Amino acid sequence: MEFKQINRLDQLYGCKLFLTKNELQDLKKTAFYQSQNRFIEITKPIKSDICQRCFNKIKINWKYPKNGIKYCWYCKDMGTIRSNDYLVIIKDPKQYLDNSKINWKGQLTLQQQKIANEQLIAWERKLNHLTYAVTGSGKTEILYPLINQVLLEKGRIALVAPRVDVVIELSQRIKKYFNGSMTVLHGEEHEIKYTQLLICTVQQLMKFHQTFDLIVVDEVDAFPLRNNKALEKVIEEAKRPQGVKYYLTATPSINLLRRVKHTNWKLSFLANRFHGYPLPIIQIYISPKWRKKLPIKIEKQLSKYQKNKRCFLIFVPQIEDLNLVKAMMPKSLSVATVYSKHPERSNNIKKLRSREINGLITTTILERGVTFSALDVYILGGDEVVFTYETILQIAGRCGRDAEYPNGNVWIFTADITLRMLRAKKEIQWLNSWRDHHSEL
């Protein structure tokens, strides 16, 4: 964060600033520094060749040839950090002005309430917690009692997700019921405010130091979080020393489950969707030449979308496949494309929600964290490596999330049947079976 971008220092409690020598001198001249310097710590931005923002190791060739000053290349998009700069930490005095809470009038199911109670008990005991819950189980609503309890105790909370789309949807859902101020940070939203509640992408936590009493990480198994030691360190550094971490996922890795088993983490499991209907079952069809011609089964299905109230997502393996498949779509349908750096990504998602278009052709960027009513999903090239077991499960989880439309198509078109898709199908069948045999719990 450059000093020239700082307009209101009193909004930056809990933040880290990376300043040049001149910027540091300017900071020391401000009235804020004069009155609040007891909350300010000044240290080095690179320690033992570790960047203190992204916590990656500085490579040996990352230095200027003339003076040997080191810099971090990993997080340069957030502003270059040099070894002769200064890291300024503004500690959080916890001086929150408003009494914020979530005023949600809905009612949790018995199964959801059980998980909510377990989360509250873990918070009371200051234990880390993993919620392993199927897609569409209502994980966000389950969090509301926990969030309100932490806010009541004057705690500071970060709700973290791996992708911008997830952050936007999560913030919009919570904003409907939240009576206070909150901060939303991602690649397109940069204004930091001094609030108790932050909703952000995981990279935005690099701006904070020992700030949050509770950090909730949604979709903890997703890229870029999965098996990323540096980002795990970022999360740990943004948490207060006595704070706790809550992880949410529908597809926990074996390593994560082992960590929970062998440490003092607590685990909650939920196999029920909030509306009580089972997860739609994956159907697999052999179609090796889909790049030349759409499978007949999809063509027949597409002809129905003009007349019914449903919409669709078609997942493809590569960005290059987007326009190829779009060119094969019926002219009677309105269809757009989406990928991670698509300039109209957010706008196209809005268009599908408002039914301005019939469907989206997308990469795996929309595999998780987005919800559409009355949705069918189709995977083309399901045997290609980008469609992992976890990805297939998440894509299937986009379907049937609306109580009015709890069913839908989850179709995979593939040249070969892989163990990944069979495992995903078997997992869904097992979850539905578990749900049927434990519905009274």
Domain final residue, candidates 270, 304, 329: 270
Domain final residue, candidates 61, 90, 119: 90
Q: What is the pLDDT of residue 223?
A: 84
Rounded distance, CA 27 to CA 41, Å? 12
Which residues, 6+ apart, have CB-to-CB distance to 181 below 8 Å?
A: 98, 100, 193, 195, 197
Q: Where are the alpha helices (DSSP H) in 330-418?
A: 345-353, 389-396
Residue 102 domain-assigned (yes or no): no
Rounded distance, CA 319 to CA 31, Å? 51
Q: Indicate whether 193 and 236 sit together in one domain.
A: yes
Q: Indicate whether 245 and 123 sit together in one domain.
A: yes
Token readout for 225 is 């979080």
Token readout for 382 is 């399901």
Residue 258 domain-assigned (yes or no): yes
Q: Indicate whether 126 and 260 sit together in one domain.
A: yes
pTM, full prediction: 0.90
Residue 365 is which amino acid?
Answer: I
Residue 389 domain-assigned (yes or no): yes
Q: Mind listing the pLDDT tens digit for each residue in 104-161?
A: 999 999 999 999 999 999 999 999 999 999 999 999 999 999 999 999 999 999 999 9
Domain that holds residue 372: 283-437
Q: What percent of the chain has pLDDT over 90?
A: 85
Q: Is the pLDDT of residue 3 over 70?
A: no
Residue 77 domain-assigned (yes or no): yes
Cα atoms in the 13 Å half-sphere on the side-chain side of 320: 2
Q: Indicate whether 429 and 288 sit together in one domain.
A: yes
Q: Indicate whether 66 and 202 sit together in one domain.
A: no
Q: Indicate whether 133 and 264 sit together in one domain.
A: yes
Domains contained in the chain, number: 3
Which residues, 6+ apart, have CB-to-CB distance to 30 below 8 Å?
A: 9
Q: Indicate whether 190 and 297 sit together in one domain.
A: no
Residue 103 domain-assigned (yes or no): no
Domain final residue, candidates 220, 247, 270: 270
Give residue 245's pLDDT band: very low, low, confident or very high (50, 70, 90).
very high
Q: Is the pLDDT of residue 441 over 50?
A: no
The residue ranking higher by pLDDT, 222 or 339, is: 339
Q: Indicate whether 193 and 255 sit together in one domain.
A: yes
Which residues, 6+ apart, have CB-to-CB distance to 274 below 8 Å?
A: 109, 112, 136, 137, 138, 141, 403
Q: What is the pLDDT of residue 308?
A: 87
The residue ranking higher by pLDDT, 417 or 226, is: 417
| CATH code at position 407 | 3.40.50.300
Residue 129 domain-assigned (yes or no): yes
Residue 425 domain-assigned (yes or no): yes
Q: Indicate whether 83 and 224 sit together in one domain.
A: no
Q: What is the pLDDT of residue 222?
A: 86
Q: Indicate whether 211 and 127 sit together in one domain.
A: yes
Give residue 6's pLDDT band: very low, low, confident or very high (50, 70, 90).
low
Give residue 439's pLDDT band: very low, low, confident or very high (50, 70, 90).
low
Q: What is the pLDDT of residue 374?
A: 95
Q: Indicate whether 119 and 79 sit together in one domain.
A: no
Q: What percent of the chain has pLDDT over 70?
A: 98
Q: Is the pLDDT of residue 45 over 70?
A: yes
- Residue 56 Cα distances to 65, 229, 286, 377, 394, angstroms: 21, 9, 44, 38, 29
Rounded distance, CA 245 to CA 239, Å? 8
Q: Indicate whether 123 and 262 sit together in one domain.
A: yes
- For the segment 218-247, the average pLDDT, to the nearest whole number, is 93
Q: What is the pLDDT of residue 224?
A: 87
Residue 118 domain-assigned (yes or no): yes
